[in-house]
Amino acid sequence: MYNFVKKGALLLLTVGLAVNLASCDDDCGECNAPSVTPPTVSVAPNTLSGVIYSKDGNGIEGATVTLKDGVTTTTDAQGAYKFDNVAAGTYMVTVKANEQHFLPAQGQVVVTKTGSTQHVLWSSVLMPFKESTPVKLLPTAETEVENAIETDALAGNDKAEVQVDLVIPALEDLDGVDAAADVQMTVYPIYNATQAEQARSLVENTLLVGSVLTCNNPAAQLKAGKFVELTYNVDAALAQAVQVLKLVDGQWVAANHEVKNDQVIVKADAFTAYGLFLDVTFNENASTQLVEFDNTKWDNLYGAQSLEVKDVNFAYQSGTEVELNATNVLSALLVEKLAQRYGSKAVTLEGSHPVNITLPVGTKLFMSGSQQVKNVTASAKGEKANGKVFGAVSVKAETYNRDHFGGSN
């Protein structure tokens, strides 16, 4: 009886093995076939994308982005744009929005030729154009005329909102104008030196906050000893640390001013730009992060039939993340400087990488990708602002068989 059971079990095991082998032959006729040469994945076209947003971090819808002559696109509701089929080369990308509210911007973008697809990113902040309500000068100094503006800041960074008070003189304090002339003065904030210069010479130290004083009569000039007061309400530490300058013939030079507690009072003696400057150190450290794919692997090494792969979807980040943790006016203004230099908002975008191959049985496809990241800081007088700038995305497709790798991009 024991021998019969033993022989029966052996017979059952043998039959089971035979069934399994037959099943393998039926389901995978190429299981024991020679290695198959994997298909080569063509390099997909490069793309250029990014986000255009305002200084407060909101995306600007409808902005016009120009890659080169005749190649333009507009931003969507998030402020995002995209150019497909971008050849390797150097481009001067420009962006314009409502000119009554935003100043235009431009930047150089380099698309390199590599063995993988480059998804290049370029984002920009459009600085606001904002001015106070025009103030009409009175004939005499019997009544002081006051006005004020407040600088813009990122949402959640309200310590960087600096109020600028304006006290203007009487009409009798001006040269070059008729006593009955309709003379008006306006003032508007500026956020970087080049905004005031408009193609004039650059400066090395950083404009923290500034204003442009204008007059509607180009012949008007303030008489000697007369001035307009521009009072910047900051804090005591910053008031003592800043350098106060004005723009004269394209050069920033020392401006007459006084410091009272937390105020810097500028004695403006001409219609030009005035600002509070401070040496700011900007640092960048490069790193990378992985790109997230919907799927990274198509395994047909032991499949039953060919497998078709068309497009592979992935997610990446575009723009800049800035930490909003300011504790005083200087740290808040450093956040603003960092945002003006690199941007202030990051969004997650969806990308699609065309593969368009058929994987025969015995082959496999693997997708990988990385994104460049710059960790950036702005520091001065012991204070620091931190941010993260998301850069170009590189996507690579690799195919291989059971023995070796094949074509890839």
The enclosing domain of 217 has a CATH number of 2.60.220
Q: Are residues 267 and 333 in the same domain?
A: no
The mean pLDDT value for 151-179 works out to: 81
pLDDT digits (tens, 9 = 90+) for 256-306: 999 999 999 999 999 999 999 999 999 999 999 999 999 999 999 988 999
Q: What is the pLDDT of residues 5-30, one digit of tens each?
A: 444 433 332 333 233 333 344 444 44
Domain extent at residue 226: 135-278
How high is the pLDDT of residue 268?
Answer: 94
309 in the same domain as 396: yes
In a domain? residue 366: yes
Taking the alpha carbons at both ends of the chain, their separation in whole angstroms is 66
Tokens 């403006």, residue? 268
The arithmetic mean of pLDDT across residues 201-221, rounded, is 79
Q: Look at the chain and report how many structural domains it folds into.
A: 2
Residue 200 predicted with pLDDT over 80: no
Residues 287 and 272 in one domain: no
| Greatest mean pLDDT range, 39-53, 142-156, 218-232, 254-268 | 254-268
Residue 350 belongs to a domain with what CATH number? 2.60.40.1120
Q: Which two tokens stand for residue 239?
A: 């008031």
Write down how long the chain is: 409
Question: Per the domain annotation, does 334 fall within a domain?
Answer: yes
* Residue 231, pLDDT score: 94
**Looking at residue 360, what is its pLDDT?**
93
Q: Is residue 267 part of a domain?
A: yes
Band (pLDDT 50/70/90 cuts) for residue 4 is: very low
**Residues 240, 177 within the same domain:** yes
Asked whether the beta carbons of 141 and 174 are under 8 A apart, the reply is no
320 in Cβ contact with 346 (< 8 Å): yes
Residue 377 has pLDDT above 50, yes or no: yes
Q: Is the pLDDT of residue 342 over 70?
A: yes
> What pLDDT does 132 receive?
52
**Residue 112: strand, helix, or coil:** coil
Which band of pLDDT confidence, cut at 50, 70 and 90, is reported for residue 126? confident
Tell me, yes or no, whether 206 and 253 share the same domain: yes
207 band by pLDDT with thresholds 50, 70 and 90: very high
397 and 330 in a common domain: yes
Domain end call among 278, 311, 338: 278
For the chain, the helix, strand and coil percentages under 3-state DSSP, each to the nearest 5: 15, 50, 35
Inside any domain, residue 69: yes
130 versus 301: the higher-pLDDT residue is 301
Strand partners, 278: 206
The neighbouring-strand residues paired with 168 are 145
